[in-house]
Structure 1
Amino acid sequence: MYMRRKIDRFLSDWKLDNDRKPLIIKGSRQIGKTESIRHFAAEHYESVIEINFVEEPKYTMITADGYKSDAIIKNISLIDPTKKFIPGKTLLFFDEIQHFPDIATSLKFFKQDGRFDVICSGSMLGINYRRIESNSVGYKKDYIMYSLDFEEFLWAKGYDASLHDDLLGAMLELRPFSEPEMAVYRSLFLDYCVLGGMPAVVKQYIESGIFEGSLDTQRQLIEDYKEDIRKYADGVDQTRIINVFNSIAPQLAKENKKFQISKVASGARFHTYRGCIEWLTDAGIVNVCNCMNFPELPLKGNIDPDKFKLYFSDSGLLVAMLDDEAQDDLRANKNLGVYKGALYENMVGEALVKSGCELCYYKRDDSTLEQDFFLRTSNSLVPVEVKSQNGRAKSLRTLISSEKYADIRFGVKMINGNIGYSDHIYTFPYFCTFLLREFLKAGTFDEEKDL
């Protein structure tokens, strides 16, 4: 069963571009990159030359005579003469290129040649990407792929593209969902919360219709990530990276979700662990939410590099890290327990990243003022608050009403409830988060500051 993905449209548009460049698809392990590329290739090419540098290390020899396309094609054909290179009808698919980043040097020559399309992919590309970038700058196009977002999960469940327009239309019209709609969407979103978006987990659930086995699959993914850390990280950093990884879930469960290095290990210091966090970020395992120096525009450069929160890039990884008792309650009763705030905040952060946003938050040192996330329109900074219960949003109201925060004119509150609007605060259900960026682009807002 092939699950429709958003990269499908991107790949089709890329193929239609007459001046297309070789494509590099980045993303963490087991999010469906290879499957999507194969699906696309089977529909669009007469010949597909797939080379996996992990499974077939002998192909690292194909650059022995240089990086020009003719030399590489000759050496591929020497290794396997059954591979057919048909000009204009062939895709070369180089997979797991983190094991052979030198192949990126050839992209310039394949672009200049123009006879064959090239797609590269790999599960740990971020770690080696500076080297890949320097070898192919100006001659490739990048695409970042993630695990399934909520919309892709709905597609897997059988819903069609019209649901996107229905949900966004309700948000733009501020039209509350009916009780049947809320019941269905909430149930689907809770299933997605439990499962996360890793294709193996979702596919298992779709095919069986039950959660049985999903936890084992999630925990195996966790072990696979730890094995990657042991494989790709150097020396003592392996232990430190795993310690950071193991510390994310318990720190998210606390009221103060700022990530504290001192909680990772006895005597841990920020300067010795900074590289570990960068490693996990480059590997696509975590999303970093940086603390703003002050809530104002522009966002670029307006962060404190020593203060941040860490979220899992896929909430299924967070779920897999919960203790057995919490797992049983979660799957049997859909009760999120003490992790409710952590899971919803992780879900919102994950959805924002998957829709193309960078994460940032604000915590004022001399007060309790704190805001979970920030987005922006062309003129306004937009605070986003995640509420595990639909209570008052004191910090959000302060940011909107105070003359200190001139760039903030309205805000958004994500809740386990329906659509609403009051006092310059838009309220939306969690399951609408994947549309929040589109809402801000398409909507018309009163951006006059009330003072």
Structure 2
Amino acid sequence: MPYISRHIDQELLAWRAEKQGKPLLLRGARQVGKSTAIRHLARQFTHFLEINFEEQRQVHKVFEGDLDPLELCETLSVLYNTPIVPGKTLLFFDEIQACIPAISSLRFFYEKYPELHVIAAGSLLEFALAEIPSFGVGRIRSIFVYPLSFNEYLTAVGESGLVTHKAKASPGNPLTDVIHQKLITHFKRFLVLGGMPEVVATYVESNDLIRCSRVLDDLVTSLRTDFARYKNHVPFLRITEVFDSIIQQSGGKFIYSKAAISSTYKQIKEAVDLLTMGGLVIAVTHSASNGIPLGAEVNDKSKKLLLLDTGIFQRLLQLNIGELFLETDFDVINKGAIAEQYVGLELLKAASCYRQESLFYWRREAKSSNAEVDYVTQKSGQIIPIEVKSGKKGSMQSMHLFLQEKKSPYGVRFSLENYSTYNNIVVIPLYAAGDWYSS
């Protein structure tokens, strides 16, 4: 399979150039490309030692005693017959969540052996980190990894020119209709494929959507199998039931009472929290949006829940992918609020990889009128409302109400339209959601 270039590659190279630095910890859901990116980075080193703590159980004993990094490296070098030399060796701890002492050792590498490049990754890592209250504060640098963004997908399929071209576009400088339509075609395909690296690599190699669908089915099976790993926290069947309800309730406020008939609110919330910690589910939390930071006025009981990838989402919903490609009707394309999910994911991917970004939405429930804005975000010190709409016909009453109440300078509508503006509403094509947020 070809290697799919990632934006984090540049961050990893910058870290590699540091003569002394903090150990890196790549965090994210399973199968999003953490280990692959690290192995790609390893080409920059003379020596590479990869230790998988799930596969190589015997190495756990090395971390049962003192965690002095020099002694650990001496033992590991002999055990794996690989030189560990500062500046020349990349030491990679994979699936590090399986060995809690190995996680604890990272802070000592920074304190006593900062000239050695040490990097770690793991899935379900957040569960392990929750058991270490003062984990590496100020001593370990985290990078948060998600599935591929739309721009990364375009680069992978050989359309880097489109990435450059649309980055220069704006409401005052819209794209030509030919380029706009070509990007919409790629956007629809990306909704179907999603950004899981194995799926995109399969498409690059084979150009076969049926084969990609099988890969997606394999990923779905793998992710569901992972629920068994949560059984120490929540019963497997409850996790499965809540996960299925999240898929069915997509696009609206998550109603806990609908998620698991025989479970209490507390039990359902626990399952949702675990799925969120595992990276499968991403919460969009209600914010009163009266000021910055948006997280200061949230209602934790009022959430919408996204899945980590649109490709996996459409397979779980069993959407008709033929309709997605052939229809120009936004409502058909947006079945299950898949376009709304795409926008939320693109906002996360466009944010800094060094912090775990949160997503917010705004909702007003009143007897006289209900109003909801799909997303609310902070940009250049301002609160900006975002709606995902079909076009000029899409009602913007909630957006206008928000702008009036919160005194925001403008709102953003993501749609299938070309770049444009309507009074104080900026219209951005869906395929440029990440460009807008990172600009």
**Correspondence for 2:83:** 84
Runs of 4+ in 1 over 6 A off after TM superposition: 331-336
SS of the residue 2:417 aligns to: coil
Aligned counterparts of 1:108 and 1:409: Cα–Cα separation in 2: 44
What amino acid sits opposite 2:339 in the alignment?
Answer: Y
**Correspondence for 2:354:** none
> Which ranges of structure 1 fall in alignment gaps of 5 or more residues?
440-451
The structure, 1 or 2, with the larger RCO (C-alpha pairs under 8 Å, 6+ apart) is: 2
Shift of 1:425: 0.3
Shift of 1:163: 4.2
**Correspondence for 1:102:** 101
User: Is 1:351 matched up with 2:346?
Assistant: yes
Shift of 1:438: 2.3
**Correspondence for 2:3:** 2
- The within-5 A match list for 1:264-413 is 264-323=259-318, 326-327=320-321, 329-330=323-324, 337=332, 339-340=334-335, 342-356=337-351, 357-366=357-366, 367-391=369-393, 392-400=395-403, 402=404, 404-406=405-407, 408-413=408-413
C-alpha distance after superposition, 1:6-60 (max 9, x if no partner): 1100001111223311110001101111111001111x21111110011111111
Contact 2:19 2:115 in 1 (8 A): no
**Correspondence for 1:444:** none
C-alpha distance after superposition, 1:169-205 (max 9, x if no partner): 212x522211110111001111100000001111111
Structure 1's 206 and 334: CA in aligned 2 closer, same or farther, altered over 3 A?
A: farther
SS of the residue 2:210 aligns to: coil
Aligned counterparts of 1:148 and 1:274: Cα–Cα separation in 2: 29
Q: Which moved more, 1:200-209 or 1:294-303?
A: 294-303
**Correspondence for 1:33:** 34
What amino acid sits opposite 2:409 in the alignment?
Answer: R
Shift of 1:115: 4.3
What amino acid sits opposite 2:338 in the alignment?
Answer: L
SS of the residue 1:3 aligns to: coil
TM-score, structure 1 length as denominator?
Answer: 0.89
**Correspondence for 1:443:** none
What amino acid sits opposite 2:27 in the alignment?
Answer: K
Aligned counterparts of 1:46 and 1:132: Cα–Cα separation in 2: 33
- The within-5 A match list for 1:6-155 is 6-42=7-43, 44-80=44-80, 82-111=81-110, 112-132=112-132, 134-155=134-155
Aligned counterparts of 2:231 and 2:143: Cα–Cα separation in 1: 24
Q: How many residues align?
A: 428
Aligned counterparts of 2:185 and 2:224: Cα–Cα separation in 1: 32
Shift of 1:129: 1.7
CA-atom RMSD, angstroms?
A: 2.1
What amino acid sits opposite 2:371 in the alignment?
Answer: L
C-alpha distance after superposition, 1:115-144 (max 9, x if no partner): 421000011112212335634332211100
Shift of 1:295: 4.6
Aligned counterparts of 2:176 and 2:336: Cα–Cα separation in 1: 25
Structure 1's 339 and 180: CA in aligned 2 closer, same or farther, altered over 3 A?
A: closer
Aligned counterparts of 1:189 and 1:304: Cα–Cα separation in 2: 33
What percentage of aligned pairs have identical amino acids?
A: 29
Contact 1:341 1:387 in 2 (8 A): no
What amino acid sits opposite 2:172 in the alignment?
Answer: L
Contact 1:193 1:347 in 2 (8 A): yes
**Aligned equivalent of 2:211, options 194, 205, 213:** 213
